[in-house]
A and B are shown apart, each in its own frame.
Chain A
Amino acid sequence: MKPDPKIRAVHFVLAAVFALLAAYFFFSTSTAVPSRAKIDLVDKSFLNTATWRKSYADLVREKEDLSDFDCYGCHEKGTPPTLRFDADQKLIIPSEHKDIVMGHGTHGRNNNCFNCHNENNLEVLSARDGREIKFSESPKLCGSCHGPTYRDWEAGVHGRTSGYWDRSKGPIDRKLCVNCHDPHSPHFPGRKPAPGPHPLRDQPVAHIELESHP
């Protein structure tokens, strides 16, 4: 049979190849899953919902140390504290209050403690019209100058609101101005950002920075 040896050869080769293939499939352990760099779990500090400052009302509620607010522990009642300014009209912070950094308004616009504090009664704040404002109600003081922001804050549009959007199911938890803003230096502080995304197929190709650098 003329074609027979060729077919025989082909059949033999095929049978051998299939047998080898069966063995390979059976014993191979490769999973074809690509290896990926390990992704660290995010630091739990990034999941923290607490504000970075506590207000007077928070401290009272949590029964924390209120000695910072015990003004007449050092000051004399009836004697308004004296303010000292240097040659550039900048306020000199006394060493007893060295952790206060004045930065409320640029170009030294709000350079006077008694713009907010009541010199005759250090245990309250006062607005420019002389109204006394309790420490626990400090947003009213802020709002006496920052009207639009205060209006937004009252509506829940400015600042942090947490808890329940559906007031019938639970209360809303309003944060006060001082929970986020240091009243002496209210600019909202920058911070380290949480890690960026790790795409599934990250390529080590040098990513050319986009042109928009200010």
Chain B
Amino acid sequence: MITAARNYIRFLLRCSRIAFVGDWRYYAWMGILTLFCLVGLNAYCKQFAYGLVTTGMSDEVSWGVYIANFTFLVGVAAAAVMMVIPVYIYDNEELHDLVIFGELLAVAAIFMCLAFVTVDLGRPDRFWHLLPGIGQLNFPSSMLSWDVLVLNGYLLLNVHICGYLLYTRYQGRKPAKWFYIPFVFIAIFWAISIHTVTAFLYVGLGGRPFWNAAIVGPRFLASAFTAGPALIILALQVIRRVTSYFISDKALLTLRSIVQVSMIINVFLLMCEVFKEFYSGNLHVISSKYLYFGLHGYHALVPWIWTAITFNLTAMVLLLLPVSRSLRWLNVSCCLAIVGIWIEKGMGLVIPGFIPTPLGAVIEYFPSLNESLICFGIWAFGMLCYTIFLRMAVPILQGKLLKSNEDEAGALGVICK
């Protein structure tokens, strides 16, 4: 028992040490990310001291980029499961190890989600009120309480699966199927649930007709399963470039087909939404009017939404054409899809729900500098986490970081690549 614990601690120590070792590009990358993190941390301290008045939010638009990013990132986290399905259900061996990269991305994304929600709180010091049993978690009535539970549960699931698979690989033994396969299947359903619960945060609000529509849930999932695998496609190519880990083009093309189908569904659902909003001409269309065409002289979001639609349509067309089999065009369409969906879920969903207010007033929202610095800081933190995870995972998967070469590594346990 004690030996097992000691071994595990040594494993963790080796992993953390290796995070500080790399080539000059690694240090430069980590340095820049740390810079953004620190600036974001400083900005958050100012927000903590002075309140949310340092953001651009108001009583009229009471959720902004924090919740927008949170919504987008829950989708990314959920989409990691999209890699799991082909591997475990369709027995696609190509993607086998890559599942871990996807799940590590999910872990980083969940960290970012939790960070975004925390910085959005007016009283983060009262977080303990959310703890079930200790606080007063309003489960099952409040969808936010569901979100608290499912997000943390998803985090634990993924940490367990990745941690177990990596540790067993490190130890050089085969992982016991019963200790991870059931969790993998639970994770598939759980991933769908985290994003559905997040969608229901919005759908359940009858007072906001822009959100109170059944299509929001399916749209969330469709856009998540477009943006998530697109991000993974890009991330895998970066891994291919900076490490010597082998990733076949076939794996990337499998992911491409997921992005392809999801984007088609996403665009179809967009068309359904647009028809429903504008054809009947009833008064509930007012938020959509603001978003697509402007309202009473206020039109801050109009260029954003049309950019997003253009990006999404272009990405869809590119993905349908065989030209996107070439990595260059695949990357272009992935970038377009990610940016388009980010805009759609952020500015295209969260903000218009507040404009006009339920009493008809229009007050627009612009994120403040401080707010933006905090967002960049959290994104940088997420990328920092993901880079560290990969810096630990890749050598393990390559067989370079092993229990058996613990002693070779020397006093500081640093392994040379």
A and B found bound together: yes
How many residue pairs between the two chains, A and B, have CB atoms under 8 Å in the bound complex?
A: 74
Contact of A17 with B56 in the complex, beta carbons under 8 Å: no
With a cutoff of 8 Å between Cβ atoms, the chain B residues found around residue A10 in the complex are 24, 27-28, 31
- Provide the bound-state CA to CA distance between A9 and B25, in Å: 11
Of B23, B27, B43, B363, which one neighbours A32 at CB under 8 angstroms? B43
Q: Which stretch of A108-116, A153-161, A179-187, A201-209 is in the interface? A: A201-209
| Nearest A-chain residue to B30, judged by Cβ | A14
| Nearest A-chain residue to B45, judged by Cβ | A25
With a cutoff of 8 Å between Cβ atoms, the chain B residues found around residue A13 in the complex are 31
Interface bin, chain B? 20 to 34
Is residue A97 contacting chain B, with contact meaning CB distance below 8 A? Answer: no
Q: Which stretch of B46-54, B96-104, B105-113, B232-240 is in the interface? A: B46-54
- Provide the bound-state CA to CA distance between A167 and B60, in Å: 40
Interface residues of A in 1-51 (CB under 8 A from B): 3, 6-7, 9-11, 13-14, 17-18, 21, 25, 30-34
Is residue A74 contacting chain B, with contact meaning CB distance below 8 A? Answer: no
Contact of B24 with A17 in the complex, beta carbons under 8 Å: no
With a cutoff of 8 Å between Cβ atoms, the chain A residues found around residue B59 in the complex are 199-200
Nearest-CB distance from B312 to chain A (Å)?
29
Is residue A210 contacting chain B, with contact meaning CB distance below 8 A? Answer: yes
- Provide the bound-state CA to CA distance between A25 and B298, in Å: 37
With a cutoff of 8 Å between Cβ atoms, the chain A residues found around residue B56 in the complex are 201
With a cutoff of 8 Å between Cβ atoms, the chain A residues found around residue B320 in the complex are none
Interface residues of A in 154-190 (CB under 8 A from B): none
Contact of A7 with B38 in the complex, beta carbons under 8 Å: no
With a cutoff of 8 Å between Cβ atoms, the chain B residues found around residue A205 in the complex are 297-298, 364
Nearest-CB distance from B27 to chain A (Å)?
5
Contact of A34 with B297 in the complex, beta carbons under 8 Å: no
| Nearest A-chain residue to B361, judged by Cβ | A199
Q: Which residues of B are in contact with A by a Cβ distance under 8 Å? A: 23-24, 27-28, 31, 34-35, 38-39, 42-43, 46-47, 49-50, 53-54, 56, 58-61, 296-298, 361, 363-365, 368-370
- 6 sampled A-B residue pairs with Cβ under 8 A: A6-B23, A7-B24, A18-B35, A18-B38, A32-B46, A205-B364
Task: Determine the main DSSP class of B at the interface with A.
Answer: helix
With a cutoff of 8 Å between Cβ atoms, the chain A residues found around residue B61 in the complex are 201
**In the complex where A33-B50, A206-B297 touch, is A14 in contact with B38 (Cβ < 8 A)?**
no
Contact of B370 with A32 in the complex, beta carbons under 8 Å: yes
Residue with the greatest number of chain B CB neighbours at <10 A, chosen from A30, A34, A210: A34
Contact of B31 with A207 in the complex, beta carbons under 8 Å: no
Q: Which 4 A-B pairs have the closest CB atoms?
A: A6-B24, A32-B370, A14-B31, A32-B54
With a cutoff of 8 Å between Cβ atoms, the chain A residues found around residue B370 in the complex are 32
| Nearest A-chain residue to B35, judged by Cβ | A17
Of A7, A18, A25, A206, which one neighbours B23 at CB under 8 angstroms? A7
**In the complex where A202-B363, A210-B296 touch, is A32 in contact with B58 (Cβ < 8 A)?**
no
**In the complex where A10-B31, A17-B31 touch, is A200 in contact with B24 (Cβ < 8 A)?**
no
Contact of B58 with A199 in the complex, beta carbons under 8 Å: yes
With a cutoff of 8 Å between Cβ atoms, the chain A residues found around residue B42 in the complex are 25
With a cutoff of 8 Å between Cβ atoms, the chain B residues found around residue A11 in the complex are 27
With a cutoff of 8 Å between Cβ atoms, the chain B residues found around residue A30 in the complex are 46
Nearest-CB distance from A58 to chain B (Å)?
39
| Nearest A-chain residue to B49, judged by Cβ | A31
With a cutoff of 8 Å between Cβ atoms, the chain B residues found around residue A203 in the complex are 298, 363-364
- Provide the bound-state CA to CA distance between A202 and B365, in Å: 10
- Provide the bound-state CA to CA distance between A77 and B47, in Å: 80
Nearest-CB distance from A182 to chain B (Å)?
35
Contact of A7 with B27 in the complex, beta carbons under 8 Å: yes
| Nearest B-chain residue to A209, judged by Cβ | B296
- Provide the bound-state CA to CA distance between A31 and B297, in Å: 32
**In the complex where A14-B31, A25-B42 touch, is A208 in contact with B50 (Cβ < 8 A)?**
no
Contact of A3 with B53 in the complex, beta carbons under 8 Å: no
Contact of B23 with A201 in the complex, beta carbons under 8 Å: no
Nearest-CB distance from A7 to chain B (Å)?
5
With a cutoff of 8 Å between Cβ atoms, the chain B residues found around residue A33 in the complex are 50, 53-54
